[in-house]
Amino acid sequence: MKFKLRQMEIFRAVMITGTISGAARMLFISQPAVSKLLSHTETNLRLKLFHRSKGKLIPTPEAHNLFNEVNQVYEAALKVDAFAENLSANPSGKVHICCSPSLGLDVIPSALQLFSEKYPDTKIHFHTTLIQDIPLELLSRKSDIAISVLPVEHPNLAVETLIRGKMVCAVPQAHPFATRPEISLHDLQDQKLILYSRQIPFGQLLNMSAEKHGVAFSPIIEVPRAELACSLVSKNVGIAIVDQFSVGNQLWRNLVVRPLAEDISIKVSLIESKFDNPSTETTNFKTILKKYLKQTYASA
Q: How far, in Å, CA of 113 to CA of 223, rounded?
A: 29
Confidence of residue 251 (pLDDT cuts 50, 70, 90): confident
Q: How far, in Å, CA of 190 to CA of 293, rounded?
A: 36
Q: How far, in Å, CA of 186 to CA of 44, rounded?
A: 76
Confidence of residue 286 (pLDDT cuts 50, 70, 90): very high
Please state the length of the chain. Answer: 300
Confidence of residue 89 (pLDDT cuts 50, 70, 90): low
Confirm if 165 and 247 have CB atoms less than 8 A apart: no
For residue 286, what are the domain limits?
94-162+267-296
Cross-strand pairs, 234: none
Confirm if 269 and 201 have CB atoms less than 8 A apart: no
CATH classification of the domain holding 29 = 1.10.10.10
Average pLDDT of the residues in 188-214: 92
How much is the pTM? 0.68
Confidence of residue 299 (pLDDT cuts 50, 70, 90): very low
Average pLDDT of the residues in 80-87: 68
pLDDT at position 83 is 66
Q: Which of 89, 119, 150 is the last residue of a domain?
A: 89
Could you give the 3-state DSSP secondary structure of residue 199?
coil
Closest alpha carbon to 251 in 103, 152, 130: 103
User: Which residues lie closer than 8 Å to 142 by C-beta, 6 or more apart?
Assistant: 96, 98, 136
Could you give the 3-state DSSP secondary structure of residue 3?
coil
142 and 232 both lie in a single domain: no
**Mean pLDDT value across the chain:** 91
172 and 231 both lie in a single domain: yes
137 and 282 both lie in a single domain: yes
144 and 280 both lie in a single domain: yes
pLDDT at position 164 is 93
257 and 274 both lie in a single domain: no
195 and 70 both lie in a single domain: no
Residue 117 burial by CB count (10 A; 0-12/13-18/19+): exposed, middle or buried? exposed
Average pLDDT of the residues in 187-210: 92
Q: How far, in Å, CA of 90 to CA of 122, rounded?
A: 8
CATH classification of the domain holding 106 = 3.40.190.10
Confidence of residue 300 (pLDDT cuts 50, 70, 90): very low
CA distances from 198 to 135, 151, 187, 204 (A): 22, 17, 20, 6
Confidence of residue 86 (pLDDT cuts 50, 70, 90): low
Decide if pLDDT at 257 tops 70.
yes
Q: Which of 45, 70, 89 is the last residue of a domain?
A: 89
Could you give the 3-state DSSP secondary structure of residue 206?
helix
Average pLDDT of the residues in 107-124: 96
66 and 128 both lie in a single domain: no
- Tell me the CA end-to-end span of the chain in Å, nearest whole number: 56
The larger pLDDT score, comparing residue 10 to residue 83, is at 10
Q: Which of 89, 109, 127 is the last residue of a domain?
A: 89
pLDDT at position 174 is 94
Q: How far, in Å, CA of 241 to CA of 192, rounded?
A: 12
Question: Domain total for the chain?
Answer: 3
| Alpha-carbon torsion angle 146, 149, 155, 159, nearest 10 | 70
